[in-house]
Homo-oligomer: A and B are copies of this chain.
């Protein structure tokens, strides 16, 4: 193991002792950093609207699929039921959406946007456009498509 080198020196990947490479070579590490950078910029962009990524995603999906159930929402966003509950509760407390009992399945909650939710979603989409522009500024259109494809393979 190479130790005690200068902090910013880049280690030549010379150790063929079966050991794993530097942390810089770990794909998961870069995914986490990229996500962090993305989240940070998102949060800045949405300070005025006071919405998180998850909350925007939920509003967006409820708008796209009026009457969607919490479980369906959870599956699409890869959340569990308890987490979904917390998010829906917060959005409902702000009167952005409401729960309505499903007609033909008493277990399900049919989610619908409230007027305030429609309003804030429109503003959110504008903010998302800015955020996406910031994110995509470093890529060509071809690279964006490529990145979308690669990322989709991870979460699908």
A28 touches B38 (CB 8 A): yes
State whether A9 and B125 are in contact (beta carbons under 8 Å apart), knowing that A42-B28, A150-B143 are contacts in the complex: no
Is A136 located at the chain interface by the 8 A CB criterion?
A: yes
Q: In the complex, which of the residues B40, B104, B139, B154 contacts A4, with contact meaning CB atoms closer than 8 Å? A: B104
The size of the chain A interface, using a CB distance under 8 A, is: 71
Is A82 located at the chain interface by the 8 A CB criterion?
A: no
A37 touches B154 (CB 8 A): yes
Cα distance, A72 to B20, chains bound together (Å) = 23
Is A87 located at the chain interface by the 8 A CB criterion?
A: no
**Cβ contacts A to B, 18 pairs, < 8 Å:** A1-B63, A7-B65, A7-B68, A8-B103, A9-B69, A9-B72, A20-B125, A23-B60, A23-B64, A28-B38, A28-B128, A28-B135, A34-B151, A34-B154, A40-B78, A139-B153, A146-B150, A150-B150
* Seed contacts A27-B147, A34-B154; 16 additional CB < 8 Å A-B pairs: A4-B104, A7-B72, A8-B103, A9-B69, A13-B64, A22-B64, A23-B60, A23-B61, A26-B128, A27-B148, A28-B42, A33-B78, A34-B151, A34-B155, A38-B154, A139-B153
